[in-house]
């Protein structure tokens, strides 16, 4: 039974008791019958007026209860867009505010959970993307050996490439194990740094595309300035950054075109740039290309695949090292991606 009905029943019981008391009192007093009817009538009128006034005064309470019920249903269906505007007694206003606070807190909690789940999916997709590149390289190399495209005297060179790719896969799997146990970003400040020779970094990164270079008759130019330059950093992350930039350059440029990789080291900064002669990128897309899952229109290149994660991964790794990646492009002429790392 609703609260309003409880109140009405209460008033009816109270009215009946009042009438019984009046009759009992009349029987013990010398009052004419007409006056008895008058007293009973006035008692009934007063009771009805009191009931009407009470219901009128309690109408904001009934309205607030209705809103609270609606808000509870909205919260149950994860709809946090509405707020309760309670009226009536102070206690109900405080209850309505408590409901609003609870709704806001639950909304923040669900949003955090959704973002956490999305971030976890993104990181798994990121590693899946990184794993795909060495697997593809190994597959192409093995097919080249089996089909006789790669000559026997070159097997040792390509087998060493497969070995490096296998090592890279093992490291990626280790990262995947870490991510499945802990999705919090890791602090690279505590990781050990090593001396990285830039010419070795560029050559080994480019060697992952050796077969593709030969098949597509690419013109590849590598330069390190000064020669034999070296820097203390994280080789694995630098290699992943460069491989992703190179993979992007090969993917979005046509066979037979030129790819330039330039590394320059000064006392203040390290820069590594990868330049291609592809179709280029529209100015309005330059910043968007670093967003996860974002891909420029598929007509840009028929060979494009993946999930639009390569550049996002490269920039994230650059940020972990304390650097950044910028993009320059002229539509129809090509693009240039530059990794920069301050050494101050």
Domain boundaries defined on the chain: 3-88, 192-344
Q: What is the per-residue pLDDT for 184?
A: 43
Per CATH, the number for 192-344 is 3.30.565.10
320, 188 contact by CB (below 8 A): yes
257, 323 contact by CB (below 8 A): no
Q: Which residue has the higher pLDDT, 245 or 41?
A: 245
140, 212 contact by CB (below 8 A): yes
Q: What is the per-residue pLDDT for 168?
A: 74
Predicted confidence (pLDDT) at residue 126 exceeds the cutoff of 70? no
Three-state secondary-structure class, residue 289: helix
Nearest to 338 by CA among 328, 326, 330: 326
Q: What is the pLDDT of residues 25-66, one digit of tens each?
A: 666 565 566 666 776 677 777 777 777 777 776 777 777 777
Predicted confidence (pLDDT) at residue 218 exceeds the cutoff of 80? yes
The H or E element spanning position 224 is strand 219-225
- Render the burial of 294-309: b for 16+ CB within 10 Å, e for the rest: ebbeeebbeeeebbbb
Alpha helices, DSSP H, located in the chain: 3-27, 33-76, 90-146, 155-181, 198-207, 210-215, 235-251, 310-320
Six-digit token string for 275 = 């330049």
């Amino acid at each position: 039974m609703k609260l309003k009905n409880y109140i009405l029943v209460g008033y009816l019981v109270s009215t009946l008791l009042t009438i019984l008391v009046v009759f009992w009192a009349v029987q013990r007093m010398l009052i004419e019958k007409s006056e008895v009817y008058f007293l009973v009538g006035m008692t009934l009128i007063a009771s009805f007026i009191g009931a009407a006034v009470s219901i009128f005064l309690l109408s904001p309470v009934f309205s607030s209860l209705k809103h609270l019920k609606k808000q509870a249903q909205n919260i149950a269906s994860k709809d946090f867009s509405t707020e309760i505007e309670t009226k009536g007694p102070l206690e109900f206003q405080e209850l309505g505010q408590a409901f609003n606070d609870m709704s806001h807190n639950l909304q923040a909690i669900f949003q955090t959970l959704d973002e956490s789940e999305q971030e976890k999916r993104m990181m798994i997709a990121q590693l899946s993307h990184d794993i795909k590149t060495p697997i593809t390289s190994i597959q192409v190399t093995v097919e080249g050996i089996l089909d006789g495209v790669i000559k026997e005297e070159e097997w040792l060179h390509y087998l060493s490439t497969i070995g490096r790719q296998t090592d890279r896969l093992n490291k990626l799997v280790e990262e995947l194990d870490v991510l499945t146990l802990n999705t919090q970003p890791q602090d690279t400040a505590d990781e050990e740094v090593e001396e990285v020779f830039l010419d070795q970094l560029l050559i080994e990164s480019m060697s992952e595309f050796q077969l593709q270079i030969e098949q597509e008759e690419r013109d590849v130019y590598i330069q390190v300035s000064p020669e034999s330059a070296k820097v203390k950093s994280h080789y694995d992350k630098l290699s992943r950054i460069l491989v992703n930039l190179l993979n992007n350059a090969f993917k979005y440029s046509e066979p037979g075109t030129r790819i330039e990789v330039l590394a320059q080291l000064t006392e203040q900064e390290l820069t590594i740039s990868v330049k291609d002669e592809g179709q280029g990128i529209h100015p309005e897309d330059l910043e968007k290309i670093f967003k996860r899952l974002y891909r420029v229109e598929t007509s840009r290149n028929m060979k494009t695949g993946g999930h639009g994660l390569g550049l996002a991964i490269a920039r994230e790794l650059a940020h972990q090292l304390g650097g950044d990646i910028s993009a320059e492009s002229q539509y129809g002429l090509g693009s240039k991606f530059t990794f920069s790392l301050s050494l101050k």
